[in-house]
């Protein structure tokens, strides 16, 4: 993952994070479902309307906006805002850049499960999003799988990138991103 994401662990230590969604008692915490669920509810749902995304974020009191200094670890010098969330499944961040690129990150999540949950969601909803790329790279001994999808319908065409790592050394094991083509 990007070096800017290495600070995820440091932020976790200093933030008292609220619960985003309480997991039902009968269901074990599932980081893959949580990260994909937050991504679908935010970045993917509102990819065509960034104002509605901001309104949705404002309506979710469990999302805690990070200060500008804390946000820089995720923004890498670009403009935008970052919100944190946690629950029994783990620690998550929602990042919205000024160019309307939107990402959801999970500190820990099984890479294979994230990919499967996202693929299953696309199949169930029959969304006009096609997988156009899938590659794995190794950087400093850490695996990074990047799956790229592109929309084929809608008022705004966009890309979805699912970046995952199986490595326990990865500071962030899942990043799901929408990139509108404007």
What would the pLDDT profile of 12-22 be if each residue is shown by its tens digit? 433 333 333 33
- Give the model's pLDDT for residue 7: 46
Q: What is the Cα 93 distance to its own chain's centre? A: 7
The per-residue pLDDT for range 133-174, each reduced to its tens digit, is 999 999 888 999 999 999 998 888 999 999 999 998 898 999
Measured CA distances, 78 to 75, 105, 149 (Å) = 5, 17, 24
- Mean pLDDT computed over 83-102: 93
Listed by start position, the domains of the chain span 3-14+30-180
The predicted pLDDT at position 101 comes to 96
Q: Is 62 exposed, middle or buried (0-12, 13-18, 19+ CB in 10 A)?
A: middle
Nearest CA-CA partner of 43 in 176, 182, 181, 157: 176
What does the pLDDT read at residue 182? 57
Average pLDDT, the chain: 85
């Amino acid at each position: 993952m990007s070096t800017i994401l290495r600070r995820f662990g440091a932020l976790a230590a200093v933030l008292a994070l609220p619960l985003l969604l309480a997991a039902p008692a009968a269901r074990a915490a599932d980081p893959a479902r949580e990260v994909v669920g937050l991504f679908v509810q935010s970045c993917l749902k509102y990819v065509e309307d960034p104002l509605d995304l901001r309104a949705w974020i404002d309506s979710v009191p469990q999302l805690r906006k990070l200060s500008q200094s804390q946000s820089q670890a995720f923004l890498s010098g670009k403009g935008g805002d970052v919100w944190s969330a946690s629950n029994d499944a783990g620690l998550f961040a929602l990042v919205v850049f000024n160019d309307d690129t939107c990402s959801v990150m999970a500190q820990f999540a099984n890479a294979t499960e994230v990919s499967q949950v996202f693929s299953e969601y696309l199949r169930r909803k029959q969304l006009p999003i096609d997988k156009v790329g899938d590659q794995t790279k190794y950087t400093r001994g850490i695996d990074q799988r990047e799956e790229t999808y592109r929309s084929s319908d809608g008022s705004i065409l966009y890309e979805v990138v699912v970046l995952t790592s199986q490595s326990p050394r990865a500071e962030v094991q899942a990043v799901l991103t929408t990139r509108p083509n404007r």
